[in-house]
Amino acid sequence: MPIARRGAACAVVFNPTTDCEEVVVAGGWDGVIYTPRVDTYSLCSKTWRTLSRPMPEELGFSAAVQYQDSFVVVGGNQGLNFTSSIFKYEVVSHEWTRMPGQLAQAKSSVAATLVPRSAFPECDEEEEW
């Protein structure tokens, strides 16, 4: 990893541009600051790269999970301030979006997983969040 840090959010995502899976390492604490930096490791080329667009906020101890052809970063902290934010990164367009939904309560040191829609049959099929 180009910059050592702890408390980074990690996920494996498929990058349709490179037709390869990548390990995403987002944010974290480098021992001095919380960073918005996002690095990916290509499982095909075995190389690291730093994304051109960092996260919109400096966060540590968040969670990341693959979502469609992108990933989301959930919760985390900036020192003593916990967040309820959810950010989505579009792998192809390199754009970050703050999602309209939030965690019910600000959290840090969290875990995330994507639950299939079939687990909630009462939800509207068209509803995204």
Q: What is the pLDDT of residues 9-42, one digit of tens each?
A: 999 988 888 899 999 999 999 999 999 999 999 9
What is 9-108's CATH number, 3.30.420, 1.10.8, 2.40.10, 1.10.1610?
Answer: 2.40.10
Q: pTM score > 0.75 for this model?
A: yes
Q: Is 125 exposed, middle or buried (0-12, 13-18, 19+ CB in 10 A)?
A: exposed
Q: State which amino acid sits at residue 71.
A: F
pLDDT of residue 107: 83
Contact residues for 118 (Cβ-Cβ < 8 A; gap 6+): none
Closest CA to 27 of 59, 54, 68, 5: 59
Domain extents for the chain? 9-108
Q: Closest by alpha carbon to 23, among 32, 31, 33, 14?
A: 14
